[in-house]
């Protein structure tokens, strides 16, 4: 079993990996979905403050690799550890999570990068419950993500994809990269 970890700041385009995973029938686990699920379990509304506080609370309760812990448990329950298959983990945010995953499986990190202005526009247009349309709250969220050490994960990633232009071109490039990793070839 091998893991492909996807990282990037909010709005960078990480969710495109779901299209790739579906196209190639690759299992995928979203770390953000786990945090949103935990927020709902508390009976809280999904908004930037509640989701952010839930993420912080999970880290306080379980340590810095908190979100990775239930991911590993899910993988152990659902998948054969000895297989040569790949699982995609979307939304890795800290080096602690990276190190935790690496205790159990080989892990390749793919970072998706977009400028803050591009990401902010995307967040406004996608209008997810835990997104904000206020620049100051967007920046506050970025700082919270950076406090989790996402910048270090991005800096230490194995591959980087820039997502500033046409979505279809980005999707093609991401697909080529993921398939190159899976087929153990040197990506373009």
pTM, 2 dp: 0.84
| Superfamily of domain 2-182, CATH level 4 | P-loop containing nucleotide triphosphate hydrolases (3.40.50.300)
Could you report the per-residue pLDDT of 19-71, keeping only the tens digit for each? 999 999 999 999 888 888 889 989 999 988 898 899 888 888 888 888 898 88
13 DSSP assignment = S
CB 71 within 8 Å of CB 31: yes
Return mean pLDDT, the chain: 89
Burial 43-55 (b: 16+ CB within 10 A, else e): eeeeebebbbebb
**pLDDT, tens digit, for every residue of 57-97?**
888 888 888 889 888 888 888 887 666 689 999 999 889 99
Compare 100 and 66 and report the one with higher pLDDT: 100
- 176 has pLDDT over 50: yes
Residue 4: is it exposed, middle or buried by C-beta count within 10 angstroms (0-12/13-18/19+)?
buried
pLDDT of 90 reads 95
User: Which string of DSSP letters, residue by residue, matches 97-112?
Assistant: HHHHHHHHSEEEEEEE
pLDDT confidence of residue 81: 65
Query: What's the rounded Cα separation, in Å, for the pair 75 and 1?
Result: 10
**Domain extents for the chain?**
2-182
Decide: 92 and 34 in contact? Cβ < 8 Å: no
CA distance 133 to 121: 9
Percent of the chain at pLDDT > 70 equals: 95
Question: Binning pLDDT at 50, 70 and 90, where does residue 188 land?
Answer: very low
If you compute the radius of gyration of the chain from its CA atoms, what whole number of angstroms results? Answer: 16
Nearest in space to 115 (alpha carbons), one of 165, 167, 156: 165
Size of the chain in residues: 188
């Amino acid at each position: 079993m091998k893991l492909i970890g996807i990282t990037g700041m909010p709005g960078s385009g990480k969710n495109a990996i779901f299209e790739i995973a579906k196209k190639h029938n690759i299992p995928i686990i979203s770390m953000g979905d786990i945090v949103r699920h935990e927020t709902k379990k508390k009976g809280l509304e999904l908004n930037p403050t509640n989701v952010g506080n839930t993420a912080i609370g999970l880290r306080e309760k379980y340590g810095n690799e908190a979100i990775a812990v239930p991911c590993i448990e899910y993988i152990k329950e659902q998948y054969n550890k000895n297989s040569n298959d790949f699982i995609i983990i979307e939304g890795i945010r800290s080096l602690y999570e990276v190190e935790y995953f690496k205790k159990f499986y080989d892990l390749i990190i793919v970072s998706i990068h977009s400028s803050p202005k591009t990401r902010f526009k995307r967040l406004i247009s996608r209008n997810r419950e835990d997104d904000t349309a206020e620049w100051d709250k967007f920046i506050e969220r970025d700082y919270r993500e950076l406090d989790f050490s996402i910048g270090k994960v991005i800096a230490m990633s194995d591959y980087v994809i820039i997502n500033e232009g046409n979505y279809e071109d980005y999707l093609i490039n991401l697909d080529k990269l993921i398939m190159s990793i899976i087929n153990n070839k040197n990506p373009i």
